Amino acid sequence: MSETKVSAQPGLKREMGIWSAASIVVGTVIGSGIFLVPHDMIGFVGTPAMVLVVWVAGGILSLFGALTYAELAAAMPEAGGEYVYLKEAYGPLWGFIYGWTQMWVAKSGSIATLATGFFLYLANFRPEMDGVLYTVPLPIGPNGGPLEIRYGQLLAMAVILLLAGVNYAGVRFGAGVQVAVTFAKVALFAAIIVIGLGGGAGTAANFRSTVPVTGGAAGFFAALVGALWAYDGWNNVSMVSSEIRSPQRNLPIALIAGTGLVIVIYILANLAYFYVSPAAAVASSERVAADMMRQILGNAGAAAVSFAAMVSIFAALNGSILSGARVPYAMARDGLFFGPVARVHPVYRTPGISILAVSGWAALLVLSGRFKELYTYVIFASWILYGMTAVSVIVLRRKRPDLVRPYRTAGYPILPILFVLGALGVVFFTLRQSPRESLMGLGLILAGLPFYFHWRRRFLC
């Protein structure tokens, strides 16, 4: 009965081309992380050279993931991305766990983290945004302290809801916004890199500077978590597979080329940061790019970087909302989530209720903590399921040899296995370094099981 009702409704339309798909990859990946996490990374590994090694390692790991996902996306170009792949490989329970995690932890947490980064950079222009509006005297804030609600957090919530409205009004409209702001952010990054490396304010001696750290494997993986947060989002385009034209061709190109471009931008940006600023200066700066440009162009340069960061985060927010809303929609369409979330707007042909649900919850999560706590919370939950999705390539090669695969993963099965090993390392060290945030993520995953069995029984009846 549920299937008949959903299928009778209008479906999603294939209105996005290769540029829209690629802009989701590049625009969603390049958000706030590249501006904020180098400060944390140098504190974990101690030298600019090791920071660059971590960026390369994170980029290679993400590229291995993109190469692996490209096979799945081309073979099963449906709304929901990993939800579809996990369901096909392991059964509906694992697809549900992924979708539940995306809704309540990973995607909503990622949107909240981006919005938090947006207000932190806005505070460069309006310092009062970082002021505390109200303090909740309960141990529910970062590190178990009281929860501080800041003026900027309210603005961040408003930005999320604004972009929810943009994407509610049609996928072509939302994708057009994504292409425009992604082009703008790449141009701004190119300018920052050229000015940093060619502005005459740096020295190669900075690459030999150091700061004291504990180091070792724990420090490396702690820094890698930060890098992977900055790379997170390369998989988002698979979530909108059912709305991309010629997906068998366009999805692999967008995944691989988009991820490769991001790696190049990130490495060049970090070369610029450390060429201008020694390790100690980066370690003491929470706005590394802005401080670099301040050294070269004064306060006007810092303001320009803050503006570039806000454009970058805006694009990542838009892409995250556009793609992330398709996962609860796909679950609800299969009877494994709240029924109204499966509705497609008869005029705009978007999953409007799903867009509003993901965005509304993400807006509330903005109040839950600051940048570092949020990105750790997101990375831990995400990489458990990224690893399982990579394994599904191997599982489906055996389980579904008949499945048409327009693209086959290069280096199979070595690259998927290496990606899975990297995912296991990230999960282990994230749990070790941040047990509170990690266990909160696991708790929300497990909380979904009673809902799954309830919806599964109803669907089967």
What is the DSSP annotation of 9-65?
S------B-HHHHHHHHHHHHSSSHHHHHHHHHHHHH-SHHHHHHHHHHHHHHHHHH
CATH top-level class of 14-460: mainly alpha
Query: According to the model, what pLDDT value does residue 2 have?
Result: 37
Q: Which residues lie closer than 8 Å to 111 by C-beta, 6 or more apart?
A: 160, 317, 320, 321, 324, 358, 359, 362, 365
Residue the block writes with tokens 């709304």: 79
Instruction: Give the strand pairing for 147-150 and 132-136.
Output: antiparallel
Query: Which pLDDT score, from 0 to 100, does residue 457 have?
Result: 86
In this predicted structure, the answer to whether residue 57 has a pLDDT above a threshold of 90 is yes
Distances (CA, A) of 13 to 189, 241, 252, 267, 315: 33, 10, 20, 37, 22
At residue 7, does pLDDT exceed 80?
no
Cβ 109 vs Cβ 116: under 8 Å: no
Q: What is the mean pLDDT of the chain?
A: 88
Residue boundaries of the structural domains of the chain: 14-460
Residue type at position 394: I
Judged against a pLDDT cut of 50, whether residue 132 lies above it is answered with yes
**How many Å apart are CA 357 and CA 290, to the nearest integer?**
34
16: β partners? 244
Place of tokens 């995912």: 423
The 10s digit of each residue's pLDDT in 243-280 is 999 998 899 999 999 999 999 999 999 999 999 999 99
Residue 328: its pLDDT value, please?
96
Residue 374 binned pLDDT confidence (cut-offs 50, 70, 90): low
CA angle 57-58-64, nearest 5°? 90
pLDDT at 101 over 70: yes
Asked if pLDDT for residue 3 goes beyond 60, the answer is: no
Q: In this model, does residue 423 exceed pLDDT 90? A: no
Please give the sequence-ordered ranges of beta strands (E in DSSP) within 145-264, or none if there are none: 147-150
**In the numeric block, which tokens belong to residue 268?**
């060049």
* pLDDT of 4 above 60: no
